[in-house]
A and B are shown apart, each in its own frame.
Chain A
Amino acid sequence: MKQSRHGNLPERVHTALADRRGYKARARAFGIIRPRADGFRRRFPDFAPVLRRTKLAALAENDRLVELAMARMRENGMHVYRANTGEEAVAQALAILTGPGTVVKSKSNMGKELHLPEALAGQGLTVIETDLGDRINQLGGWHGAHILAPAASVDRAQVRDLFARELGEELTDDVDVLVAAARKSLRRYLMEAEYGLTGANAIAAESGTVCLMENEGNIRMVSSLPRVHVVVAGIHKVVPSLTEAISVIRGASMFGAGQLFGNYLSCISGPGDGIAGPAEVHVILVDGGRTQAMAAGYTEAFACINCGSCLNFCPIYTEIGDAFGGVRVGGIGTLMTALLDGSAAGDRDGAALCIGCGKCATICPVQLDTPHLLNRLKSEAGLAPAPRLARMLLNAVKDPAMLRRVGRLVRSYQTSGLQGLVRSSGILKPLGLADAEALLPPPVAPAALPDDWPAIGGERDAVSFFRGCLMDELLNPINRDTLAVLTKNGCRVRTPGGQVCCGAMHEHSGERETARQLARQNIDAFAGEGPIITNSGGCGALMKQYGELLADDPAYAEKARAFAARVRDLSEYLVALGPRPMKGVIPVKVTYHESCHLSLGQGISDQPRALLKAIPGVELVEMAAREACCGSGGTWSMQHPELAARLQEVKLEDAAATGAEVLVTANPGCLLHLQSRGLRAVHLAELLAQAYGRKGVAE
């Protein structure tokens, strides 16, 4: 359980993947919290967009609000400080908590950011964590960062031993007994402590109020019993008034804790009489690089309300827990660390581990798009540089000639029989290429696609086809199937020359400029009108964002928006058009894997399923975790092979459990990833083409 926070990343991931107890604890907790949070999201569909606007508006006038909050809190009799750096904040805290004595503290992200407990201990103070999970970790000398379940990997016998030693009493394994023991032990510290230390969920500027939410009641104790209450909080926690503060707390309650409203709310607007409330309240507002990061265009990151919902849904965090991060955890944590402490710190904590599935953004109470911000930091600040192998691929796919050469190499390697030999010999292992090799698809013969193809059975529409780099070079028959499906449905299909790779893998790997250049080439190649059809979820997701990608390019901004508006996934397009009846019967039981870039990136989830159900003979059975990421993520799986293999394994087990004979997906990355371990995985277009008689395109 003890982990080095600075160990090298693959090693850390390896250790975390081996900790099955930790995984099971997370899976159990997330199994409870996910449906609750998702339920609130559906019940209050306007909540997140409104809270997002609220927080962004507050951040837009952060300077004014912080000044107002400081003035109002001072009028209320509180002592207020603004610390520009973490060092200043710690110095200020040490000047207030002069020691010796006891500090009782509640959970605080800012406390962690400042390493404040360590600094206080260094001044001779005894720091006592009062949240039970944190206290367990403190007594055991363990690390645990998840807000929801800091001691998730500890069992009751370990807890018994800790509190038996602490109290000098015999205890049983009964959880009620253990909680009673913890209450008794902690109550002693709470009664005698000179200082109480908390964070803040929100600070209401107009009324000068610190707002806190919790379940255990320790925050109420920490903020009422000691003589001195110290609050440490980032400047981004300031909102205009109590109204917005309560919205923040509702968001944290519903999305983070899965409750309509948290168990205990405390709104504190001043010091007390020294008996019923602390005689002194000190509030330290910490900038710590936030103003600078916001000025650099990353304001959105600070709309985060620290509820932990993203962690509960993150496929990577679910697998490896706190190994995905350092002082701060998960995608948002590593993003924050990269913004505040620099890219090297972000890399050390594992910013590269974000697979970019976008699940976090869908379930965030402020709709924070962490993968998008991480991608921007990759290209603007050199975060998570792509390793050599991934760079080679990125270079190859952007250049059609190079791509063809690589494709030929791949095919000759596959057909020469060398593949089997090399695979069995393990010769690639020392080169670090073994897992990348496993990504290679079965050998296929390349064939040029026709540039223009007439509709069959009466023309209903004229469309352009985006063939994609991987699809075209490695999965060429699927492109032919796609053309067959389109023509059979009455589409005249043009496949413009001059089109190139969409740039998605580059955008995700910090090569934004390359992505922009590729986007311009595609926009030029597809000049004209009518739908642009793609059979790749990943390509579609990025091409629909070309408008944003080129928003600051005066020559292309307008054209990019127009292009993006024309992009359709094959399934999206067919369902909207109304698919013609399929005559071919395919008696097969299938399960559908939805690519994150299709379902989350484009909101296309029902259409592929509707088409599958329309195929005579096909029976569709759903996986238990139908939304789970497969671990492909473009070049991500090359960078994190062990983790990718785990996600793939989980996905394939889930698929096997359905009893399906075939796994269907609609994204080449997922398809290559899921084919590579033996299961029969096909692209939706392949089944559709078969159902339509596969005669639309000359063979």
Chain B
Amino acid sequence: MSRVLWLASLVALLTGCAAPTLYSWGQYEDLVYVTYAAPGKAAAEMQIEKLEQDYQQARAANKRVPPGWHAYLGYLYVQVGKVDEARRELETEKAEFPESSVFVDRLLANLKKL
């Protein structure tokens, strides 16, 4: 495990050297990948847990999470039947990125039908 952490920090160091990023990315894109590449290992509960951890790290680093992030988390919460959490995340996406409002309003409308 410590070897993994070491590798991860080296990756962060190497990629971090290029330029400061606008967002804290965490595992968002890796989880999207796993969803398609190994659906059996991409349970929504596991993804939610990892994303919530990433969110704490982003807050600690005083960085924003990327566009689409809250909408994706909301979509995962829908899958596990947590409608209130899903709504909260979708509303956050809209507040953080007004460009998402047409799409998010559509997703929120679908949520009401559940």
Decide if A and B are genuine partners. Answer: no
What is the interface of chain A, defined by CB distance below 8 A to chain B? Answer: none
